[in-house]
Amino acid sequence: MDDNPLGEKIDYPKQLELITNIQQSEAKLATARTQYFVLITSLLIVSLSQFKIEPFQILISLAGLCTSTVWLLTHHRSSSYARYWKSKAQFLSKEGKLTEIYPESLCGIEMRISLYILPIVFIIFWITTIIIILMLPNFAQMASGISNSTLKF
């Protein structure tokens, strides 16, 4: 235990345990949120395949785009909290000369960083889907024009 500027003793192991619990709670919440967003997005994709009416497809695609954007923003905020608590745990480990729970020397990509891929891929998917739906009547007209012109002798 060391003194802080207020003259109080700092219980490093207890503080580290508290911060580690907060960080782990944030990680569990992030995982649960990811599962919910994947479920919602999956339901929207299934419903997109069930409706062949263009306005419904556009509405479903816009809902999917909004959902994926909220997912990305929520994940970014959650990732910021996890990074913050992880840095606090690393600081306490060094200051209290304790075993590092989150060593900086570990290699590889953290899961919270790799999970940015999912909402980004779905945002691209929904934008592409909206473009295709809006252009689909034009494709049908072009295809019928090409087939009519090739059949005329």
pLDDT-derived band at 7 (thresholds 50, 70, 90) equals: low
The larger pLDDT score, comparing residue 37 to residue 53, is at 37
Q: Which amino acid is at 27?
A: A
Work out whether strand 9-10 and strand 2-3 pair parallel, antiparallel, or are unpaired.
Answer: antiparallel
Average pLDDT, the chain: 83
Round to whole Å and give the CA distance between 100 and 55: 55
Nearest-angstrom CA–CA distance, 90 and 80: 15
Q: Averaged over 95-118, what is the pLDDT?
A: 78
Give pLDDT tens digits for 66-91: 999 999 999 999 989 888 988 888 88
Which pLDDT band holds residue 98 (cuts at 50, 70, 90)? confident
